[in-house]
Amino acid sequence: MIFGFNTDVTGKDAVYHVQTEDRGARNPVVDSIVYVGGKIVDRRRTRYVPEEVTPEQVEKMVRKQHKGLVEAIRTGQFVPSGESAESVPSAGYAVQLLNPTDLYRDGELRFELRVQDKRQLAGKSISVGVRWILDEAVSEKRTLSLEEDGKVVVSFPVPANHGKATLLACAEGPAGRALAKFRVHAQPAGKG
Q: What is the pLDDT of residues 67-86, one digit of tens each?
A: 999 999 988 888 776 543 34
In a domain, 190, yes or no: no
The Cα–Cα gap between 59 and 102 comes to 27
Model pTM greater than 0.85?
no
Does residue 113 share a domain with residue 67?
Answer: no
Candidates 160, 185, 188; CA nearest to 4 is 185
Rounded to a whole number of angstroms, the distance between the first and last alpha carbons of the chain is: 27
User: How large a percentage of the chain has pLDDT more than 90?
Assistant: 27
Instruction: Provide the number of structural domains found in the chain.
Output: 2
pLDDT band at residue 155 under the 50/70/90 scheme: very high
Q: What is the DSSP letter of 92?
A: S
Does residue 111 share a domain with residue 152?
Answer: yes
Q: Which domain holds residue 41?
A: 4-74
Does residue 93 share a domain with residue 180?
Answer: yes
User: The CATH number of the domain where 170 resides is what?
Assistant: 2.60.40.10
The Cα–Cα gap between 144 and 40 comes to 25
Does residue 39 share a domain with residue 70?
Answer: yes
Give me the sheet containing 15-22, strands edge to edge: 4-10, 15-22, 29-36, 39-47
Higher-confidence position of 108 and 176: 108
Does residue 95 share a domain with residue 68?
Answer: no
In a domain, 191, yes or no: no
pLDDT band at residue 106 under the 50/70/90 scheme: confident
Q: Of all residues in the chain, what percent are helix, strand and coil, respectively (each to 5)?
A: 15, 50, 40
In a domain, 19, yes or no: yes
Query: Domain end: 74, 108, 124, which one?
Result: 74
pLDDT band at residue 107 under the 50/70/90 scheme: confident
In a domain, 127, yes or no: yes
